Structure 1
Amino acid sequence: MKYFYALALLLPTALFADEENTKPNILWISAEDISAHFECYGDPHAITPNVDQLAKEGMRYTHAFTTAGVCAPCRSGIITGMYQTTLGTQHMRCVAKLPEMIQPFPTYLRQTGYYCSNNSKQDYQFKPPSGTWDASNRKAHWRNREDKSKPFFSVFNFTGCHESGIASEEKYRSVTKDLTPDQRQNADELTTFPPYYPDSPIAREDWKRNYELITAMDAWAGNLIQQLKNDGLYEETIIFFWSDHGVGLPRAKRWLYDSGTHIPLVVRIPEKYRTGDQGEPGMVVDQLVSSIDFGPTVLNLAGVNIPEHVQGEPFLGKDLPAPRKYVFGARDRMDERYDIIRMVRNQRYQYIRNYEPLKTFYQYMNTPETGATMKVLRERHEAGDLRPAANFYFTPTKPVEELYDCQTDPHELNNLADQPEYADILTELRNAHLNWVKQTRDLGLVAEPILVEREKEIGHRYGILRGKNAEAAADRLAETAALASSGESATNDLIAALDDEDSAVRYWGATGLGNIGMPAVKADQKLKEILQTDDSPVVQIAAARALCRMEQPETALPVLVEHLRNGEQWERLNAAIVLDEIDEQALPVIQEMHSALKPRPDLYAKGKYVVRVINRALNQLESTNRKVP
């Protein structure tokens, strides 16, 4: 007996541990800006042997979606398990503050003994609190943990298939330099080329590059998997493969259509860590999954309690909630342009609500405009030589509501919102959307200048629509924002909203009256009063826009110029956008607009977004008014 006891002291403790109490290692392999162009997803052109093999050994999810069509907002949701619109991280390239109670989920893993490494992208739109990672840099790796008996959670992110890999010849060649001739694609033979792009050699070249970048990424992913095997950890590690959003091309990245939010998700679970039939090789799972569910699922697999404030839901492990009925998404400011859009999707149908329907789909934004496909789209539209499915996105306005049958119409080209036979599903998804906006306290409906102002007052954005009387305020905000795009019948309610105690509600009241324009002219005196008395600059700017749309620019222009000249960062941007929107009505203040092209060193990036918008506005004005100096 003594002999066996002594022998036990010399052997690894893990050999005697209850197998159910051992914690799995967890590896995240993530990629940027790619849709499900993999052979395992049925793509006839994909060359992706490593991810395909992972799917054969694990589970392939067919209905995984991210919460935004762009990286930083959705990454803030992935790392916290919360919607970006709840955190206040929804605007691209914002920097929000979080309350202490909300931590990135690796913090909770570390507290239970996990080694957590990130190689290396963060880009969460907030500064990660100290203690989020054991290591977060280009050398971070599970191999660097001092105690090799510690379970690890390691993230590796591939940046090579980012949209810049398509747009930049130099980057594309660098990323794909190791591809063999039989791994290259023939652009003319790609049958998956979407109908909403011009069928031109230039656009097809972009589509081809996307495939080749994915093949390069697949080789990188295979190398990571091989490292696990070399370390003897393959059967000790749960592997997730996913992308942050859809392909980095127009009408995909930044958008809420499936082309922008439907993502690949493959999970391999070694047999020893499976619950029930989860992880059976070759499984195809059609359960709805949101990207905010990734973190809670990791916590659940690791046996870590999920904090109550987390909105994501685990989809693997023990004691799971009922599967999701819907997934949700949001689009907000993309660099220099606002376009508030919300999405709800069930297994088959997708509903989109455009809160700013008077804006065209393809607003001019510097970053995507540098891409070859976007250039060809704009050139052919201006030449009148663009096929209808592509030309549609240049219409000057958008429908308030969009509804698509994603099963029969995978490219989402046939809007069913006005068809009577779909009225029930439209109502269901419309209500699901509005309930989500209210329940999650959607901060994207709070105009950004107001959001920043209130963050300074309370220390973070999360609490802006919480606290005393906040629920009623959130409901009024959601309802007024919806009314703002509901047409002339909402006029009286929108006028009443101008007297609301909450400037966020007043903003939508003024915006809605501006959307209606001349038919709401009875509100002009009230709007003129707001120009002088409202304590919120962005409400004044919204009132000025409304008066311009009621053909009364003479009273509005001085207010717009004042905020453009002396406002804070986001007030200036809002004023610049209105001056761009009102076209020739801005001619009397064209010299003041030229003055705004001088960067302001006291602002973020010297106010580059304002410069971009004003520069575009001046180019348009002066190209159609040649006599203007």
Structure 2
Amino acid sequence: MMLVHWHDLGRYLGVYGHTDVSSPRLDRLANEGILFTRAHATAPLCSPSRGSLFTGRYPHSNGLLGLAHHGWEYRSGVRTLPQILSEFGWYSALFGMQHETSYPSRLGFDEFDVSNSYCEYVVEKTQAWLRHYDGNHPFLLTAGFFETHRPYPHDRYQPADATAVRLPDYLPDTPQVRQDLADFYGSIATADAAVGQLLDALADTGLDSNTWVVFFTDHGPAFPRAKSTLYDAGTGIAMIIRPPTRLALPPASTTSCSAASIWCRRSSGCWPRDTTRRRWGIACREPC
């Protein structure tokens, strides 16, 4: 499995109806897999949301109720996705962003490099890992992008046309807001192209034939009435799952869900069958 996650995106992709956003590679990924149209974060804040994504447990259960860089950590005894999969012979690697702990070794990855989370560095490290994968173990390969977190410097991201962006109804239509949204769109375009490089590397190595690809973001964009709020713009997230082959899967899921729940559902098809509901905790609604 290759797991790709971004910061602060919400659902700002073309495939979610934002036709003014340039995201061709993720739009294509959605067309090849399942697009979750009603996925929500368990919290509209980075660390608590990501903690649920990697434990299958809600923040009040896993203990990660605030930001990791403010001292919040998982409760003692809480196990993460890499730790659980290791019991079934999986090898796990993380490159780039993580925001669940100040001590990355606690996350249970067999290998990690969190020294740089800008997308070009993450792509370089992930591509190299895929080229050298020996095939001896199933893998969980996690690529965490800093994008699309603020700031959006113009020397890194080419902004979109500020006159062409479509403003959400919760933001005022001013030149400053338009430029801010255009800068955000530039970050999206850069990160989308980087995802395309990861998908190309997966195809070039032939690993796409038996690798699930999961894409998600942690919560809504960093705008008023979005990130850090409980409005839909704050909790609504992009989530896409592409299977390794063209299985009989629906092109979209309109079921209300959180990304935390997908790890404990056998119906996702990507986990060992003897993982159990007890391993994951209260986010699981059905036995695995």
Report the TM-score when normalising by structure 1.
0.41
Shift of the alpha carbon at 1:149?
A: 2.9
Report the 3-state secondary structure (helix = DSSP H, G, I; strand = E; otherwise coil) of the residue aligned with 2:206: coil
* SS of corresponding position for 1:174: coil
* Corresponding position of 1:88: 63
Which amino acid in the other structure matches residue 75 of structure 1?
Answer: R
Mapped contact 1:115–1:142 kept (Cα < 8 A): no
- Partner residue of 2:210? 236
Q: How does 1:489-568 map to 2 (within 5 A)?
A: none
Closer, same or farther: CA 73–97 of 1 in aligned 2, 3 Å? closer
Structure-2 change in CA distance of 1:234 and 1:258 (3 Å): same
For residues 19-34 of structure 1, the aligned pairs below 5 Å read 26-34=1-9
Q: Does residue 156 of structure 1 match 2:137? A: no
Structure 2 vs 1, CA of residues 164 and 295 (structure 1 numbering), >3 Å: closer, same or farther?
farther
The CA distance in 2 between the partners of 1:187 and 1:79, in whole Å, is 36
2:55–2:80 Cα contact (<8 Å) kept: yes
Describe the SS at the equivalent of 2:2: strand
Which one-letter code corresponds to 1:113 in the other structure?
G
1:288 to 248, 252, 256: 256
Are residues 293 and 127 of structure 1, via their aligned partners in 2, closer, same or farther at CA, if it must alter by over 3 Å? farther
1:186 deviates by: 2.2
Q: Does the 8 A contact of 1:36 with 1:264 survive in 2? A: yes
Q: Which residue of 2 is the match for residue 246 of structure 1?
A: 220
Partner of 2:90: 114
Runs (4+) of structure 1 exceeding 3 A deviation are 125-131, 138-142, 144-147, 297-300
In the TM superposition, residue 152 of structure 1 has moved relative to its aligned partner by: 0.8
Is 2:283 the counterpart of 1:312? yes
Corresponding residue of 2:119: none
2:270 to 290, 295, 301: 301
Tell me the distance in 2 between the aligned counterparts of 1:142 and 1:295.
24
User: Offset at 1:74?
Assistant: 1.0
The SS at the match of 1:188 is: coil
Flag the 1:176–1:96 CA change in 2: closer, same or farther, 3 A.
closer
Letter in 2 for 1:99: S
Inter-partner Cα distance in structure 2 for 1:135 and 1:307 = 27
What TM-score results when the alignment is normalised by the length of structure 2? 0.85
SS in 1 for 2:143: strand
Q: Percent identity?
A: 26
Q: Distance in 2 between matches of 1:243 and 1:131?
A: 19
Residue by residue over 1:54-77, the C-alpha shift from the partner in whole angstroms, topping out at 9 and shown as x without a partner, is 111111110000011111111111
Q: Is the 8 A contact 1:294 1:312 kept in 2?
A: no
Give the 3-state SS of the residue equivalent to 2:237 in structure 1. Answer: strand
Shift of 1:284: 1.6
Whose Rg is larger?
1
Q: Distance in 2 between matches of 1:125 and 1:292?
A: 18
In structure 1, distance between residues paired with 2:8 and 2:48: 13
Aligned partners of 1:215, 1:146: CA distance in 2, in Å?
29
Q: Which amino acid aligns with 1:162?
A: H
Query: Given that residues 82 and 109 in structure 2 are in contact (C-alpha distance below 8 angstroms), is that contact kept between their aligned partners in structure 1?
Result: yes
Within 1, Cα distance between the matches of 2:19 and 2:232? 19
SS in 2 for 1:107: helix
Letter in 2 for 1:31: W
Higher relative contact order (CA 8 A, sep 6+): 2
On the 8 A contact 2:52/2:260 being kept in 1, the answer is: yes
Amino acid at match of 1:95: W
- 1:208 pairs with one of 179, 182, 187: 182
On the 8 A contact 2:8/2:219 being kept in 1, the answer is: yes
Letter of the 1:203 counterpart? V
| Residue 57 (structure 1) aligns with | 32
CA deviation after TM superposition for structure 1 residue 126, in Å: 6.7
Is the 1:89–1:126 contact (alpha carbons within 8 Å) kept by the matching residues of 2?
A: no
> For residue 155 of structure 2, what is the aligned residue in structure 1?
174
Aligned length in residues: 272
Q: Which amino acid aligns with 2:72?
A: V
Secondary structure at the counterpart of residue 245 of structure 1: coil
Distance in structure 1 (CA, Å) of the matches to 2:62 and 2:240: 27
Find the residue that maps to 1:209 and give its secondary structure.
Answer: helix
Counterparts of 1:349-360 in structure 2, within 5 Å, are: none
* Shift in Å, 1:160: 2.4
C-alpha RMSD over aligned residues: 2.5
Query: Which residue matches 2:120?
Result: none
1:46 and 2:21 are equivalent in the alignment: yes
Is 1:67 matched up with 2:42? yes
SS of the counterpart of 2:190? helix
Quote the offset at 1:195 in angstroms: 3.0
Give the SS at the match of 1:189.
coil
Matches within 5 A, 1:66-465: 66-92=41-67, 93-96=70-73, 98-100=75-77, 102-125=78-101, 127=103, 130=106, 132-138=108-114, 139=125, 142-143=129-130, 147-165=134-152, 172-176=153-157, 185-191=160-166, 193-271=167-245, 274=247, 277-278=248-249, 280=250, 283-297=251-265, 301-303=270-272, 304-308=274-278, 310-313=281-284
In the superposition, relative to structure 1, how do residues 146 and 270 fare at CA in structure 2: closer, same or farther (>3 Å)? closer
Task: Give 1 or 2: higher helix fraction.
Answer: 1
In structure 2, C-alpha distance between the alignment counterparts of 1:131 and 1:208, rounded to whole Å: 35
2-structure distance, mates of 1:238, 1:96 = 29
Partner amino acid for 1:174? D
